[in-house]
Each structure stands twice: as structure tokens, then as C-alpha cells.
Amino acid sequence: MRPCTEAELAEAIRAATAPVAVRGGGTRGQAVAGAVLETGGLSGVRLYEPGALTLVAGAGTPLAEVQAVLAAERQRLAFEPPDLRALLGRTGVSTLGGVAAENASGPRRVQAGAARDAMLGLRCVDGTGAVIANGGRVMKNVTGYDLVKLLAGSRGSLGVLTEVAFKVQAVPEAETTLVGEGFSPEAGLAALRSALGSPFDVSGAAYAGGQVLIRVEGMAGSVAYRAGQVRARIAGDWRLAEAAESAAIWQGVRDVAAFAGKPGALWRISCVPGEALAVPQALAAARVPHEALWDWGGGLLWLACPEGQGALIRSALGARGHATRLRGEESSPVLPPVSPEVAALQAGLKAQFDPRGILNPGSLG
């Protein structure tokens, strides 16, 4: 199925008698069973007002097309949606709807928020075939319930997105990354905490393999000043990566490029930054070889390890965060377990929005 209008999509959902696998470009979501329903026909930028920092586009619009339209006005999506194709071994064209449905957010999450924070409004078709609009295209909107947040990151489980409105951001004049080498994981994560706890408006804070990366962006004079202040605050051997070099570094962090092509299982862990070593330490104690990359000041941990470690990872993490399985170890659930109270609310919402259970079955775990 590849509907070309919202009405066609609604009709297709109403007519569906078996599970439907909703698919933007198939570049980031988990695979689910069902007849593939592609959103690529619902494409095109429908409104772009650079002076109001607002863009509205069909959910099937290629992310690259949106990025090109924004770049022409020196603007961008502040939340830096990752391109995980190399990491996950996918091909295809990432869509704006896929970004929204996965709440796909990159390194700037620590400063500018996630995809859900930039989403101003949406239209979708729920599991009964009803067309639902929520939010709008203005920056501040508390009119009724925020279903935009509920649908953001819902993995196509409640509705098929047909249109999304985003707040966008001007590309700043300058960016600089402080690159520090030779940090132990403890010292590296402490450096990230120190940077993010400073008043210098850090927009990226990552650590991997002894290397600390701290980004500042803004007007040229301000960037130079803040980079200097952060450097003075944290002892270490620093060099500065400017402009294009800095951008390339963060593209690598964003896309988890270092783990592309690695065999085994891949995990994405969201946790309290100060507890970011718990899982790697547990794996080390169990003599399980592993590699880790920390982003979001330690609040996001990408972990590559042999298959079969899901239970250990999740128990080491405990109540300090949650782990999502991205690749490998098919026997482990993709999503972490949730409390019975949360599970009941999720099941209740699923039953309301998709009473027949036909939209991306199993995508909520």
C-alpha cells in the first residue's frame, strides 16, 4: 500500500483486515509483521516560514529534502536527527514522519531538546481510520491535550502520521569543538558533567575511547570566549576543531559511525548521566567484551557487545535508566519492561487509538 493522500490512507486503514507495517523509509524503525504501508506518497513541504521558524511537511517527505530546503535559508532541525542507515545496515530514504515516530534525536538533545520538543503539530490516521489533527504551527500552544508528544516516538503504534509541523532553528555563525584525548571513562564523563554544568551553553557533550568532545555554537566572538572558558575549567590536553571539522565530528557521533558494521548486538541506553558507567562495569565484571560510546553528557550510551547480554544489561541498569535493543539478539525484547501501571496506561491508549491492534503490532513491546 502506498497511499497518495490522507483520505486514501484513511480508507486503506479502514479497509485493512490484517496487521499493517507502517513504513517511512525503513531506515530506523524496528521491523514488524504485516502488510507494508508506505508513507512516501504523502510527501512535500507544505509551508515554510523562515521568519517564524516553522516548517510543515507531509510525513513521507524525505528528510534530505527538508534539510535542503532549510539549508537554503541557513536554517536546520535543531535536534539533529541521526542517520542510522550504516549502523543498522539499512538502505532507503529517511522520512520526516519516521523521524517523528521514532523521536529520533541527536547530540544537540542536551541543549535544544529532542524531536518531540521541536514538534508543533501533526495530522495522523488512527487505527480506526479516523483522521486526527493536534497542535498547530505556532511555538506556544496549550489548546487541549498534547497528542503531538504522545504520537512522537510512538513507533506507529497509535496512528499513521500524515503531516508534521516542526519548529526550526537558524544555523549559528560559528561552531567549535573542544577535543580532549587520554581521558579515562570516569574522567571523561566528569568532564562532560562539568561542561554541561557550566553557564557556557554547551550544545554537544560526548565521550568514547579516551576522547572527550565538547561543542559550543553561536556568534563567532561568543564561541571563542565560551570554548576558552570551558577549556580553562577542565584540566586536560585540548585542541580546537572548528567549523567543517567540528561538524564532521558531530555527524559521526550523531550517526554512531564508529559502530557501523560491527557484529553482535547493539544497544541504546538512556540513563542518569552519573550512572553511565554501571552497564559497562557490569559487562567488564562478567568478562564480556564490549565497546561503548557516550553522548548527551553520559545520558545516552551506545553499546556494542556479543549477543546474549540483554538480561545482564537490563539488570545492571536497574531503575537508573532503560535499554533499547537496536540490532542483534532477536530473543530479547526491543523495549525495556515497564511498570504494571505504565503498561496498563499504554495498553489502554493502544486500545483506544487502535482497537483492532492492526498498526505496527508489537512495536510497543
Partner 1 sequence: MDVPVPDAAILSRKPAIVARLRAVLPRDAVIDDPAETRAYECDALSAYRMQPLAVVLPRTTAEVAAALRVCWEEGVPVVPRGAGTSLAGGSMPTADAVVLGIARMNGVLETDYDNRFIRVQAGRTNLSVTGAVEAEGFFYAPDPSSQLACAIGGNIAMNSGGAHCLKYGVTTNNLLGVTLVKMDGTVVEIGGPWMDAPGLDLLGVVCGSEGQLGVVTEATLRILPKPEGARPVLMGFSSNEVAGACVADIIKAGLLPVAIEFMDRPCIRACEAFAKAGYPDCEALLIVEVEGSPAEIDEQLAAITAIARRHDPVALEQATDEAHAKRIWLGRKSAFGAMGQINDYMCLDGTIPVSTLPQVLRRIGELAADFGLEVANVFHAGDGNMHPLILYNANKPGDQERCEALGAEILKLCVEVGGCLTGEHGVGIEKRDLMGVQYRPADLEAQMRVKDVFDPKWLLNPAKVFPLAVSAGRRAG
Residues from 224 through 243 that contact partner 1 (CB under 8 A)? 225-226
63 vs 148 by CB, closer to partner 1? 148
Count interface residues toward partner 1 (CB under 8 A). 87
How far apart are CB 299 and partner 1 at their closest, in Å?
5
Identify residues 45-104 at the interface with partner 1 (CB under 8 A): 49-54, 73-75, 103
98, 180, 299, 328: which one binds partner 1 (CB under 8 A):
299
82 vs 321 by CB, closer to partner 1? 321
For residues 316 and 200, give the distance between their C-alpha atoms in angstroms, rounded to a whole number.
Answer: 33
315 binds partner 1 (CB under 8 A): no
Would you tell me how many other CB atoms lie within 10 Å of the CB of residue 51?
Answer: 6
176 binds partner 1 (CB under 8 A): no
How far apart are CB 287 and partner 1 at their closest, in Å?
28
194 vs 306 by CB, closer to partner 1? 194
How far apart are CB 69 and partner 1 at their closest, in Å?
15
Identify residues 117-146 at the interface with partner 1 (CB under 8 A): 117, 126, 130-134, 136-146
35 vs 344 by CB, closer to partner 1? 344
62 vs 273 by CB, closer to partner 1? 273
40 vs 121 by CB, closer to partner 1? 121
163 binds partner 1 (CB under 8 A): no
273, 280, 310, 361: which one binds partner 1 (CB under 8 A):
273
12, 230, 300, 326: which one binds partner 1 (CB under 8 A):
300
> Which residue stretch of 31-39, 220-228, 233-241, 284-292 sits at the interface with partner 1 (rule: CB under 8 A)?
220-228
For residues 280 and 208, give the distance between their C-alpha atoms in angstroms, rounded to a whole number.
Answer: 12
| 167 closest CA partner among 216, 204, 129, 116 | 116
19, 92, 236, 274: which one binds partner 1 (CB under 8 A):
274
Side-chain-side CA neighbours of 7 within 13 Å: the count stands at 0
How far apart are CB 261 and partner 1 at their closest, in Å?
26
Identify residues 325-354 at the interface with partner 1 (CB under 8 A): 335-336, 338-339, 341-342, 345-346, 348-349, 351-353
258 vs 338 by CB, closer to partner 1? 338
264, 296, 304, 327: which one binds partner 1 (CB under 8 A):
296
197 binds partner 1 (CB under 8 A): yes
| 293 closest CA partner among 185, 219, 200 | 185
62 vs 296 by CB, closer to partner 1? 296
How far apart are CB 68 and partner 1 at their closest, in Å?
18
Mapping DSSP onto H, E and C, the string for the chain reads: CCCCCHHHHHHHHHHCCCCEEEECCCCCCCCCCCEEEECCCCCCEEEEEHHHCEEEEECCCEHHHHHHHHHCCCEECCCCCCCCHHHHCCCCCCEHHHHHHCCCCCCCHHHHCCHHHHEEEEEEEECCCCEEEEECCCCCCCCCCCHHHHHCCCCCCCEEEEEEEEECEECCCEEEEEEEECCCHHHHHHHHHHHHCCCCCEEEEEEECCEEEEEEEECHHHHHHHHHHHHHHCCCEEEEEEHHHHHHHHHHHHCCHHHCCCCCEEEEEEECHHHCCHHHHHHHHCCCCCEEEEEHHHCEEEEEECCCCHHHHHHHHHHHEEEEEEECCCCCCCCCCCCHHHHHHHHHHHHHHCCCCCECCCCCC
Identify residues 251-270 at the interface with partner 1 (CB under 8 A): 270
360 binds partner 1 (CB under 8 A): no
14 binds partner 1 (CB under 8 A): no
CA angle 257, 260, 264 (to 5 degrees): 135
211 binds partner 1 (CB under 8 A): no
| 210 closest CA partner among 292, 97, 304 | 292
